Structure 1
Amino acid sequence: MSGVRWWFLLLFLLSLQPKADQAKQRDELDGCSWCSKNNTIENVGGVIRYAGTRVGKEQKIAMKIAIKAFYRSNLSDYLRLKFADPLGTPASAASAAIQLIGRNHVQVIIGTITMLEAALIYNLDSTTEDIPIISLTSLPTTPHLMPNPSPLFLQFSNDVSIHMQCLAAIVGNFKWRKVTTIYQQQDGLSIDSGLLILLSDSLRKVDSEIDTHLTFPPLSLSDPKNIAIERELKKLKSKSNRIFIILRSSLEFAILLFEKAKQMQMVEKDYVWIITDEVTSLLESIESSILYNMQGILGFKTSFIDSTRSYREFKTKFRKKYELKYPKEEYLNPSIFALRAYDAMWAVAKAKEKSHDSGIQMIDPKGWSCNDRDTRLKIGIPTKSAFYQFVSVSQDKNENRSTHATGFSIQVFEAVVNRLSYHLSYDFVPSNDSYDDIIQQVSQKVLDGAIGDISIISDRYQHVEFSQPYMESRVVMALLFG
């Protein structure tokens, strides 16, 4: 799938653990006429909030399309999807995932699971410790305070810090010095301080700051007239600051918020509203009459290539299935959230195909591979070093090499190379030139690098990059008396 790449996940997922009793479980894939009870069945759990949310609906349908599309060309083996909709607190999401693992024997969890929820899943039940969790949400949970809950927890979305930088860039461009942030409380969760910290840090770089923060309560069926939204908007209207950033919001909440703001004349010339990717990417699914209330709002979204053959095929399947499932909805095209769910599901199926039914394993991607066509790096070393303890170059006929380099700087370089997770080919190139000349040769790509007792000074720093100094260097003045 263009735009949102799935293949990197294969570096982490190799296979899925088979379960003997799963052959009797009911198939949940719509229209799966080619499934056979004789095949090895392995289950994937989908923890998706698909009840009443556009994102959840898209994700569930996209995952089903992915698994069906993948196994049309390979009928020897297949995966089954088991869905759960966690309504409520993070504990309910963790409970839903644990039940899928225990009752349905799923070997992978895909869904809108936050870092906090993943930590609960791994900590509440020891049987989950080997279960990969692929998160489709980019919302942090105070990331600087909470470590990654497990090496098996994978984020399949954008880095939310980039979103905060986008917001700050908009604010900085117009030189707004103070902003008001709005956060919709969802699933019983309070404000995620991680978002506020990231945004505050980004705003500080453009000489701006958060003046007021307002948390809206979750949507309630007992409040059909949205009195709570109107009450909070009145608070905002009474303040002098009119720059509003909706930091977190569902599409459904945003629609109600702007409908009420329009009625209260708060979407006018003196007001600025900025929305993030989680709302902007879904605006095309809104009816034109509703979208009218949101005219003049600033926002950004994740773009993707929609001209490839693979995307067009997916789009056609998605539109047919979505229209069949939700005939009353006007807009049928998939968003970026559907693409991520599709690609995550495809990646799991691809990993299973490569596994040969041996259990999930984790490998360490090196990110670098040398081959015979790679040019060996030319590393310059000074032959006129003032201190032979750092660099010393000599002839070495016994080892059939023209030069032999020794010294502390050489040892540091070789120690670093030996710690690399890949092979690095290089040759030492002795140079009789001055240190400044060697620096120029590196800058001009005559040499790939240089090592030695080379001082880091401002003039040289303008031409090349230096490693961290591994020894302190100082200039001192001595007075001699006769």
Structure 2
Amino acid sequence: MKGSPTLRINFNSFITICLFLNVCLSEGVVAQSQNTTGDATIPVKVGVVLDMDSLVGKIGMSCMNMALSDFYAIHPHYKTRLVFSTKDSMGDVVAAASAAVDLIRNVEVQAIIGPRSSMQANFVISLGNKSQVPIISFSATSPSLTSLKSPYFFRAAQSGSFQVNAIRDIVEEFGWREVVPIYIDNLFGETLIPYLAAALQEINIRVPYLSVIPESADDDLIAKELYKLMNNQTRVFIVHATMSLGSRILVKAEEIGLMSEGYVWIMTDSMTTLWRSIDSSAINALQGILGVKSYVPKSKELENFTVRWKRKFQSDNPNVNAEMNIIGLWAYDATFAVARAVENAGTANLRFNRTNISGSGATDLETLGVSQNGPRLIKELSKINFTGLSGDFHFVKGQLESSVFQIVNVNGNGERRVGFWTPQSGLVKDWKSTNTSAKSSSKPKLGPIIWPGDTNSVPKGWKIPVEGKKLKIGVPVKDGFTEFVKVTWDSNSKKAKSIGGYCIDVFDAVMRKMPYPVPYEYVPFATPEGNAAGSYNDLVDQVFYGIYDGVVGDITIVANRSLYVDYTLPYTESGVSLLVPVRDNNKKNAWVFLQPLTSDLWVTSGCFFVFIGFVVWVLEHRINEDFRGPPAHQVGTSFWFSFSTMVFAHREKVVSNLSRFVVIIWCFVVLVLTQSYTASLTSLLTVEQLQPTVTDINQLLKRRESVGFLSASFVKDMLLGMKFDESHIKKYGTLEELHDLFAEGSANGGISAALDEIPYIRLFLSKYCG
């Protein structure tokens, strides 16, 4: 009985230990099962279609492989793992489409990254839309792809249309009025031109010519097209082509002299991004060129990646000279985006639904199938938002948003940044100033630029071609008023030796201010003997007849002339005025001292003197002994007091406050009166009182007096229209003749007045009446 409890206790302990071990073993099995499940990853196939022999393809593939490695190193707990199925498009549209069909139909990829070019992407996007497989391209920038509006196309790059505003602002900054785009003859080239033309049209920049060059063009065809540009006036060219064709265009342009001083070349981002990869022998052709490309802000992550990529790329491609660019960064970030979207979309349904088509006539396109995971995957791609190596990375309507562009100037073997462009601020010299209102600033918006021809002078953007003719500018020939136009003749050759004068100086100054050089020559409107070949109307008619391209001189804007020619804005005062002699009406005599005041004012002043004397007497004679006495004494004292106010202080003192007030007011009135009298008398004695002899031209008609006019002027017709007799109209050709006619007078064969244009009258007055 004593051993029984002990046995019971030992048995209970054994049961407890067994249960404890069972629980521990069960938890261990569960934990092991959970770990096994966590370690299992699901491969997700993603297709890659690139030109593996191209620089973009090699850089893109290298960056994508590194992105895949980096992404899963950062997220080791993710259940999905992208597996690339790579196809080489070999730079061919058909090959790219065939590769996409194979990847979708046979490999059943969940997404395709690529292809490289916009032309290849055009058909691949249609395949992706049909099979619900997302197409993600990091290098197809053609704006036309946006118009496809496919929900299964994502452009992991900026559209090429974003850069046209930056190019437009560069053209506007330097005041160029015309540009010529040079672009490749394919979908990539031609789709950007409408956007560029529209942007330039907003600021009234003309596009006189479009230079289209086929991708397969040989050097002879390129040279032929460039010679056309040389024969045009425009010297600002915008190059939009692939790097292979663009470099050949620039090399040939240098050979024929289109890279000399005075020319401007601007590269779009497709060339600016890749120009360092071209052969070193071709880099000399790029000196002085401006380029536009996307700006990538610096970061430690970018620096570390660039070092790692450089090391890996050189080991994989020892014979390829390449540097990291924005396309490689977009490929890296695009891979991150696809990996993250695939993980978020899940792996519940990675199958393809295929249409059952019987018979041997079924095509590959009909048996593509439809991805069940596609709709969910594009939904996750649309949500992607992170900061990648290229900056903020998120899709807006299927493509990256427009961001900052940098403007670079090619010098030597490198490039120098001269400014930035942002959608908010436009062109700015410094990145720090992009938050300010730079568009309204008068400061230079770009840093110093070395232009083609190794010059710092900003090209005018316009030049008359070598075989262009000079403008023929007609000038009047006359003997007088040479201050406006003067033609000096060579006595031996009977040709004009020099042409000068105020009008010529104004025209020369205007032409120097033109934004482009315009050659011209002056042609005197004269007979072989050197005399005037006709009137001013005849000279103006020469422009209408096409003999002269223009006329410069003292030519008045008249209604009948403006019917046939256009005028510039007048640079002198215009109009017709009457010039007449004057006479001095100031007849000096002994009574001149009375002239400053009118008779009414003299009488009024005398009356006030009497009145003030009377008022003071009334106020003072009762209380002031000075104003008492006999009546004659009182009257004399009152008038004496009033009249002596003008010249000296009074001997008599006033006692009444009212009298004092009256005297103060009277002293002020007298002061004003005397000062006015003194000023008027001084003017009468010192200033000539000139009056015109004729105030109305009708007076000349009534008196039948003669009037003068400038020879060959339209004024003669005006005088005849006023009914002047032709015998009373005298012409003159020089200032001296006009002066002599006035000196003789109308009665002696001279004139009483001259009707002439205001500039001539001012010239006469400055010489003879100064």
TM-score under structure 1 normalisation?
A: 0.59
Q: How does 1:189-338 map to 2 (within 5 A)?
A: 189=186, 192-219=189-216, 226-247=219-240, 249-286=241-278, 289-308=281-300, 310-331=301-322, 333-338=323-328
SS across alignment from 2:209:
strand
SS across alignment from 1:301:
strand
Shift of 1:123: 4.5
SS across alignment from 1:106:
coil
Alignment match, 1:339? 329
Aligned residues of 1:137 and 1:157 also touching (Cα < 8 A): yes
SS across alignment from 2:191:
helix
Aligned pair partner of 1:49 in 51, 55, 59: 51
Deviation readout 1:248-277 (Å, 9 max, x if unpaired)? x22222222222221212111121111011
Shift of 1:135: 2.2
Aligned pair partner of 1:109 in 100, 103, 112: 112
Aligned residues of 1:46 and 1:81 also touching (Cα < 8 A): yes
Aligned residues of 1:113 and 1:135 also touching (Cα < 8 A): yes
Shift of 1:172: 1.4
Aligned amino acid, residue 363 of structure 1: K
Shift of 1:336: 0.4
Deviation readout 1:128-182 (Å, 9 max, x if unpaired)? 43111112235335468x441x212112111322211111111112222221111
Aligned amino acid, residue 181 of structure 1: P
Shift of 1:202: 0.2
Shift of 1:90: 4.1
| Gaps in structure 2 of 5+ consecutive residues | 1-39, 349-372, 385-770
Deviation readout 1:51-93 (Å, 9 max, x if unpaired)? 2x32222112111111122223528642121222334664443
Q: Which has the larger radius of gyration?
A: 2
SS across alignment from 1:246:
strand
Alignment match, 2:343? 353
Alignment match, 1:406? none
**Cα 1:227/1:135, change in 2 over 3 Å:** same
Aligned residues of 1:140 and 1:160 also touching (Cα < 8 A): yes
Taking the aligned partners of 1:259 and 1:147, their CA distance within structure 2 comes to 36
**Cα 1:292/1:120, change in 2 over 3 Å:** closer
Shift of 1:296: 0.7
Alignment match, 1:99? 102
SS across alignment from 1:322:
helix
Aligned amino acid, residue 194 of structure 1: T
Aligned residues of 1:109 and 1:132 also touching (Cα < 8 A): yes
Aligned residues of 1:287 and 1:330 also touching (Cα < 8 A): no
Taking the aligned partners of 2:162 and 2:287, their CA distance within structure 1 comes to 25
**Cα 1:285/1:141, change in 2 over 3 Å:** closer
SS across alignment from 1:178:
coil
Alignment match, 1:131? 133
Determine which structure has greater relative contact order: mean sequence separation of CA pairs < 8 Å that are 6+ residues apart, divided by chain length. Answer: 1
Taking the aligned partners of 1:287 and 1:312, their CA distance within structure 2 comes to 26
Aligned residues of 1:54 and 1:251 also touching (Cα < 8 A): no
Aligned residues of 1:59 and 1:338 also touching (Cα < 8 A): yes
Task: Compute the RMSD of aligned alpha carbons.
Answer: 3.0
Aligned residues of 1:116 and 1:141 also touching (Cα < 8 A): no
Taking the aligned partners of 2:179 and 2:233, their CA distance within structure 1 comes to 11
Taking the aligned partners of 1:313 and 1:355, their CA distance within structure 2 comes to 31
Aligned residues of 1:65 and 1:317 also touching (Cα < 8 A): no
SS across alignment from 2:154:
strand
Pair 1:69 & 2:59 matched: no
**Cα 1:350/1:137, change in 2 over 3 Å:** same
Alignment match, 1:381? none
Pair 1:60 & 2:50 matched: no
Deviation readout 1:321-361 (Å, 9 max, x if unpaired)? 22123212344x31000000010011111222333313341
Taking the aligned partners of 1:352 and 1:240, their CA distance within structure 2 comes to 56
Taking the aligned partners of 1:246 and 1:232, their CA distance within structure 2 comes to 13
Aligned amino acid, residue 70 of structure 2: A
Taking the aligned partners of 1:102 and 1:162, their CA distance within structure 2 comes to 35
Aligned residues of 1:118 and 1:153 also touching (Cα < 8 A): no
**Cα 1:80/1:228, change in 2 over 3 Å:** farther
Deviation readout 1:420-459 (Å, 9 max, x if unpaired)? xxxxxxxxxxxxxxxxxxxxxxxxxxxxxxxxxxxxxxxx
Shift of 1:311: 1.4
Shift of 1:208: 0.6
SS across alignment from 1:134:
strand
Deviates more, 1:281-290 or 1:336-345: 281-290
Aligned residues of 1:142 and 1:192 also touching (Cα < 8 A): no
Deviates more, 1:173-182 or 1:226-235: 226-235
Aligned amino acid, residue 105 of structure 1: E
Aligned amino acid, residue 342 of structure 2: K
Identity %: 29
**Cα 1:115/1:190, change in 2 over 3 Å:** closer
Shift of 1:286: 4.6
Higher helix share: 2
Corresponding residue pairs, total: 317
Aligned amino acid, residue 96 of structure 2: A
Q: How does 1:405-416 map to 2 (within 5 A)?
A: none
Pair 1:363 & 2:396 matched: no
SS across alignment from 1:273:
strand
**Cα 1:200/1:352, change in 2 over 3 Å:** same
**Cα 1:92/1:61, change in 2 over 3 Å:** same
